[in-house]
Structure formats: structure tokens, C-alpha cells
Amino acid sequence: MNKALMNKRQWLFALLMGAIMTLILTAALSLLNREPSLPFLLQWMRSFLLAWLIATPLIRFLAGPLRAWVERTVTG
């Protein structure tokens, strides 16, 4: 497979996975710590953006090595 295409696929996967995980986790944690209201939505959006910016590169750079480690561990 073309290396540039593989890189684009990995970044797209990381962006989407990061967004989905961050959306669910920040919403759940914000609901546990605050009551729903307009300030809640603003606080949640800020938390979402910060967490997404952290999660996306982590997924991008850790998914490959972790996948390889799991494959080596499982197949022995």
C-alpha cells in the first residue's frame, strides 16, 4: 500500500476515534461533576476540544506499536 495513503488513513482513524472517545468521556465526566445548563455546555465544549487535541496524536502514534505488541503477544 502507498505509504502516503497509509499515513492519511492512520490520521483519519486517529481523528475519528479521538473525537468519538473524547465526546463520550468528556460528556459523561462533565455530567457527573456539573448539572446540565448553558455554562455546562460551554465547559463541556472547552473540555472536549482540549481532550481531543491530546487524544488524537496519542492514538495516531500509539495505535501502531500497540497493535504490533498485541499481535506478538497473542500469537506468541
Q: 16-49, pLDDT tens digit by residue? A: 888 999 988 888 888 778 777 778 888 888 888 9
Q: Considering only CA atoms, which of 61, 51, 49 is closest in space to residue 11?
A: 61
Tell me which DSSP letter residue 1 carries: -
pLDDT of residue 45: 87
Tell me which DSSP letter residue 34 carries: S
pLDDT of residue 20: 92
pTM: 0.65
The SS3 assignment for 23 reads helix
pLDDT of residue 1: 67
